[in-house]
Structure 1
Amino acid sequence: MSDSVLQLLPGQTPPLAIITPTDQRGVLYIITALCLATSIVSLLIRAYVRVEFSQSYGKDDISVAAAFILLIVQSCLIFLAASKGVGEALSDIASGDLLSLQKTYYAANLLYIATLWATKISTLFLILRLAVQRIHTRTTTAVLGVTGILGLVSFLLAALDCNLNAPWIFINGQCSREGAHWRAIAAFDIITELLPFGTLCFIINSVQIPRSKKLAIVAGFAFRLLLIFPLAFRLHYVLASLHAHDITLRQDRIVINTQVELVTAMVAATVPCLRPFMAATYTTWGGRVDTVSGSEYNKSGSNSGKKHTTSGSKSVLSSLRIGRSKKGVDELTSRDDISLEPMSQSWSAKGMDGNQTERHPSTIRKQSGDDSGAMNQADDQQSLGSHDSQRMIIRRDVEWNVRFENRPDLNGTGIAR
């Protein structure tokens, strides 16, 4: 549209694109930019979760990073193809731009396949982390291999079109097998979405965790199934464009569904890594876990903002010593003294300045008239300092050393009552 039709004020420049019935490039710019921005935010969230929770970077993170790089290049190619005429009426495109338009759009479609399958591989690597038994690992590895093979076949189907000398030609091209190629690619896409989800359900079903956590895990991975909808719409518009009179204009809806499918795949790769989901799936199966000691903040004095780390001894062994004399009978009276003395226990707290202090518990003496729950409360208080309890196993080791001692009564008989 010329500047004479579009009234511009002094100092204004024409817009990048004007949306008209014969020019939908502005829609492509907006959708592609929004999808790319959403993918960037999704990747930043994933990176933040990894850094915040000190998670180790694995193959799934590498696959997501590779998919993100491919997505950036693919989005740039879509911008370039739209500037050449994709989404515009064929009659309005300069003849000198037709060849570069088709090559750019051809490369964007190839990167679409590569980006989509990179996110699938990332999901399978994440599922492989959850594998508990050997059969789970083997099943996930087999699905990973099938996904890789189908991804390679899909890439070749999109790359090797009817005309092997110039496979990027789609304007005025005569290819009866092009529709079959994209049908096969869509079928492989759906299969490689259902297989990982079924594998996850197989793994989760054999794990003894609460049902609520199982549902949280399944829901996180089920988000990927949403990309089947833009995939189906994309296939519909691809098949419809093969018989369209204005094939470049009809590419607009194909591009829109392509970008929506890619951003859904990128977001789906991040959903399982969100904090609530990580809290539900962090079970430490299949590897060694370093026990992390608790942390607290000192709220008194000038150290109110300093963080201290408290580490307890590996076990708390207590000895209950009840004295008795050589004379008399072995029985406890209401006047006996009970002392609870830890045999081996210490607490150490190390502040920000590197100074380390130790505190040893003092002897707790209980008279017969005291509350019967005082000793249990003291023992529970000691167990709070223990940071070596194993994950998913609650174990308490207590060792008692009992000694009887008779105390002389008021009459001096030496016999305990």
Structure 2
Amino acid sequence: MSSSLPLPAAPTGNRFALVTPDDDSAPVTIVTMLSSIFTILVFAVRLGIVKRKRYGYDDCLLSLGHVVALGQWAAIFIALDNGLGKSTKLVGNREQNSSAKALFAGRILLILSLCFSKLSILLLTRSLFHWEKRRKILIIDATIVLVIIWGLGATLALSIDCSPHTMLGRGLTQCSGHVLRLRIVMIIDIITECIIFGIPILFLYAVKVANGTKLLVIAAFAFRLPLVAFSIMYLLSFTSYIDSKSSGTAIVPTMIWQEILLGYSLMSATIPCLKAFVEGFTTGGGRLGEIEVVRMPYESEGSYELGQMRKNMHRSLERLENIEDTGTHLQHSRRRSRRSNSKTIEEASIRSQTSEQPIIGMAI
């Protein structure tokens, strides 16, 4: 006789989320909540501990990325409240319209947040390698321009002549080449991430430093590489969703990968700022001289050198100034003592001369 496992009991009472054949919104809710919570916590650690009182331009851009991400998470929760992940037969037309608009806005905000994350990591890289020759710094500047163009172009490409209903797999005739546009956007996104990872390798190649130190710095930027896989999965899942013409539940994998992509992009921008990675860099490849390591091209980017080195440098400079002041003081005191001695000798000679005159007169 064949035995089979008993079916699970039907859910009773109040549940956080239910997964049924017609309602698969629970995974989206859970992933969105985890993505937002962990991302905000990591950013709080960055501002409160890692970069405390040493903020730079990269922190400003990453802050903008988190502000935009808050809008994206809010859009997803609005879509969930209006039936995201549920079968269309359970959701009315009004809720579907609201969900489509929220998803449409959420994807635009996703692109903008990814753009700010890329710019933040590029500015960090530019500051760490400020001692490089100008032609190498131009590579970073060119990449920054490329990312800005990508962010603006992707925002326009995914919104011009496109209806929000394309997010629900409908109205594709109102957005010609919708899937092709997304493919181009994500391909450029992947290319920029590869460039961001390759720049430190290019700069460290000619630096005479231990291989362990090089690997430590490269490992910090290697945490961006999973974004390539996440972008590919997001693109494939959305393409599969559009081709499936599902009744609403097939969009769930796309939204899950979207939240993973967004959260990891923002969190990975903090990893190269951690003390273990930056100390390995500043005590190795960047040591072209004590002053060059500490002094940064512009003040706001000086925060990347851990602040403590700057304090130590200031203290040493103050000590040198004190030593110089002490030496100058000693020189002045010596000169004064010499002058006083010479005056004393002159006065003594004058006195001796005046005292001798009456004796000579008496002798005469």
- TM-score normalised per structure 2: 0.73
Q: Using the alignment, how far apart are the partners of 1:205 and 1:27 within structure 2?
A: 44
- Mapping 1:327-366, distance limit 5 Å: none
Going from structure 1 to structure 2, the CA distance change for 1:190 and 1:315 (only over 3 Å counts) comes to same
Aligned counterparts of 2:245 and 2:86: Cα–Cα separation in 1: 13
1:7 equivalenced with 2:17 (yes/no) = no
Q: 1:124 to 1:88 in 2, by over 3 A?
A: same
Counterparts of residues 17-96 of structure 1 (less than 5 Å): 17-52=17-52, 54=53, 56-96=54-94
1:192 corresponds in structure 2 to 192
Separation of aligned partners in 1, 2:106 and 2:316:
55
SS at match of 1:243: helix
Q: Which residue of 2 aligns with 1:408?
A: none
Match runs of 1:2-401 below 5 Å: 6-8=11-13, 14-52=14-52, 54=53, 56-131=54-129, 132-133=131-132, 134-161=134-161, 163=162, 166-171=163-168, 172-175=170-173, 177-282=177-282, 283=286, 284-285=292-293, 287=295, 290-292=310-312, 313-314=319-320
Shift of 1:201: 1.4
Q: For residue 51 of structure 1, report the CA deviation from its aligned partner.
A: 4.4
For 1:7, give the aligned amino acid.
T
TM-score of the aligned structures, taking structure 1 as reference length: 0.64
Structure 1 counterpart of 2:109, which letter?
Answer: L
Distance in 2 (CA, whole Å) between partners of 1:123 and 1:310 is: 32
Letter in 1 for 2:196: P
Deviations 1:345-394 (A, max 9, x none): xxxxxxxxxxxxxxxxxxxxxxxxxxxxxxxxxxxxxxxxxxxxxxxxxx
1:190 positional shift: 0.5
Cα deviation code 1:167-200 (max 9, x no counterpart): 4544432345111011111101101101122222
| Whole-angstrom CA distance in 2 between matches of 1:17 and 1:229 | 29
Structure ranking higher in helix proportion: 2
Structure 2 gaps, min length 5? 1-9, 287-291, 297-308, 328-364
Task: Output the aligned Cα RMSD.
Answer: 2.7
Distance, in Å, in 1 between the alignment partners of 2:199 and 2:277 is: 18
- C-alpha separation between the residues in 1 aligned to 2:24 and 2:136? 48
Instruction: State the percentage of identical aligned residues.
Output: 23
Larger proportion of strand: 1
Q: 2:12 is aligned with what amino acid? A: Q
Q: Is the 8 A contact 1:25 1:83 kept in 2?
A: no
Native 8 Å contact 2:100 2:164 kept in 1: no
Structure 1, unpaired ranges of 5+: 9-13, 295-308, 318-342, 345-417
